[in-house]
Amino acid sequence: MKRLLNFLAIFSLGAMICISCTKEGPQGAPGEDGIDGTDGTAGCIQCHTNNENMRIKSTEWAVSGHVTGGHMGGSTYASRDGCTDCHSSQGYQLAVMGSWDNTPADKPLSANCYTCHQIHETYTSDDWAFRTPDGGMPFLTNGETSDQGSSNTCIVCHQSRVAEPILDLASSDNVSITSSRYGPHHGPQGNMIAGMGLSGAYELSGTMNYVNSTHATDASCITCHMASGAGSGGNYELGGHSNNVAVGSWDDDSREVNVNGCIACHSEFTDNDGITAFVAGARATNLGLIDDLQQELIALGYVDEDGDVVASGGSPLVVSQAHAAAIYNFKFITEDKSILIHNPKYAKALIQNSIEALQ
């Protein structure tokens, strides 16, 4: 009922605005009742129609990790200075205008339709446009810009944060790491897809060359994570606005990858089972590679079994620039969470060359 009253209030506002603009502009055709102003809803019904399309998107979004994960909106993360930039809707709307380290809004909201889209700015379907500037925004960590098309809307949040100390591979001075959380923070996927020369990871020299995989050059977040969900039917869990490329767990064999995001290139796989088995195989190999690097870091006393850096304010870790770079690269790769799949060739070079720098 409250929603209906709200709607009627905004609806009549829309009609009033329209009546007053007809003084300047050309008049709309009179309605059947002879009153001008039918155009007042013409914009609204480009979106608010009876086809339930918006309702479907909302239902998908409701099962997204953004809503269910507990780290957005009402969480403490949304209410902390700076954190709010990517952990609330209002923070994000300031961040896309180039303002970072914002103070939290009074009532921080989870990301929602208004966050990414310009809802109710012009009251026409143009408002599906994104808030991110054309061409993308510079990364926080190195000022480089990676234009990932519509996925620019994702990578404002899914990017590395600045990690202190910033390293200089040309310097022979040691650096001091003072936090067990040293690294790029939790969502550096945008940087991983940007890859070569842009990622902000430290491209140590070694036996492997840095090249980007096809996933990074010819696909984007949206290709894989927002393709329509194969077989997700009435639970909306896969693809679309759920943003889920896969659901279920690897641990109990219930994981299911959405083949629709992959089929354009991996045409040999026609259903979720096929692509899921392919991903499982790559994961097994890649987890081994990540472990090789972690074991080197553990042997040197730099990280523990959980992957946390062995450092604190009271007892800093003092290492060479190259060793600190290898620690950063390890965190970058694990925080990306795709087990190298976002940009396999690039990530494998980071691992191999980091191992060589430690030996």
274-293 residues near ligand HEC, rule: CB under 6 A: 275, 278-279, 282, 286
What's the min distance (Å) between Cβ of 169 and ligand HEC? 24
**What does the alpha-carbon distance between residue 190 and residue 194 come to, in Å, rounded to a whole number?**
6
Q: According to the binding rule CB under 6 A, does residue 46 interact with ligand HEC? A: yes
Q: According to the binding rule CB under 6 A, does residue 149 interact with ligand HEC? A: no
The residue written with tokens 């960590």 in the block is 141
- Give 5: exposed, middle or buried? Use CB within 10 Å, 0-12, 13-18, 19+: exposed
Select 35 or 162, whichever has its Cβ closest to ligand HEC.
162
Which residues are CB-neighbours of 315 under 8 A, at least 6 positions away? none
What's the min distance (Å) between Cβ of 110 and ligand HEC? 8
What's the min distance (Å) between Cβ of 135 and ligand HEC? 16
Q: Fill in the per-residue mask, 304 to 333: x = in contact with ligand HEC (CB under 6 A), - = not in contact.
A: ------------------------------
What's the min distance (Å) between Cβ of 292 and ligand HEC? 14
Q: According to the binding rule CB under 6 A, does residue 350 interact with ligand HEC? A: no
| Residue 117: closest CA among 52, 186, 61 | 61
Choices 200-208, 242-250, 305-313, 320-328; region in contact with ligand HEC by CB under 6 A: 242-250
Tokens representing 73 are: 């909106």
Contact 141, 122 (CB under 8 A): no
Select 169 or 186, whichever has its Cβ closest to ligand HEC.
186
What's the min distance (Å) between Cβ of 249 and ligand HEC? 9
Choices 20-28, 237-245, 290-298, 308-316; region in contact with ligand HEC by CB under 6 A: 237-245
170-209 residues near ligand HEC, rule: CB under 6 A: 185-187, 189-190, 193
Cα-based torsion angle of the residue sequence 207, 211, 213, 217 in order, rounded to the nearest 10 degrees: 170
Q: Is the peptide bond before 133 cis (omega within 30 degrees of 0)?
A: no
Q: According to the binding rule CB under 6 A, does residue 131 interact with ligand HEC? A: no
Contact 345, 214 (CB under 8 A): no
**What does the alpha-carbon distance between residue 228 and residue 123 come to, in Å, rounded to a whole number?**
27
Q: According to the binding rule CB under 6 A, does residue 65 interact with ligand HEC? A: yes
Of 52, 74, 97, 128, the one binding ligand HEC by CB under 6 A: 128
Which residues are CB-neighbours of 123 under 8 A, at least 6 positions away? 14, 43, 44
Q: According to the binding rule CB under 6 A, does residue 79 interact with ligand HEC? A: no
| Residue 237: closest CA among 253, 258, 221, 252 | 258
Q: Please measure the distance between the N-terminal and C-terminal CA atoms of the chain and give it in whole angstroms.
A: 68
**What does the alpha-carbon distance between residue 309 and residue 323 come to, in Å, rounded to a whole number?**
12
Quote the longest CA-to-CA distance of the chain: 84
Q: According to the binding rule CB under 6 A, does residue 86 interact with ligand HEC? A: yes
Q: According to the binding rule CB under 6 A, does residue 220 interact with ligand HEC? A: yes
Of 27, 30, 31, 48, the one binding ligand HEC by CB under 6 A: 48
Contact 160, 332 (CB under 8 A): yes
Q: According to the binding rule CB under 6 A, does residue 105 interact with ligand HEC? A: no
Select 183 or 261, whichever has its Cβ closest to ligand HEC.
261
Choices 5-13, 21-29, 165-173, 318-326; region in contact with ligand HEC by CB under 6 A: 5-13
Choices 86-94, 171-179, 231-239, 350-358; region in contact with ligand HEC by CB under 6 A: 86-94
Tokens representing 205 are: 């020299």
Q: According to the binding rule CB under 6 A, does residue 85 interact with ligand HEC? A: yes
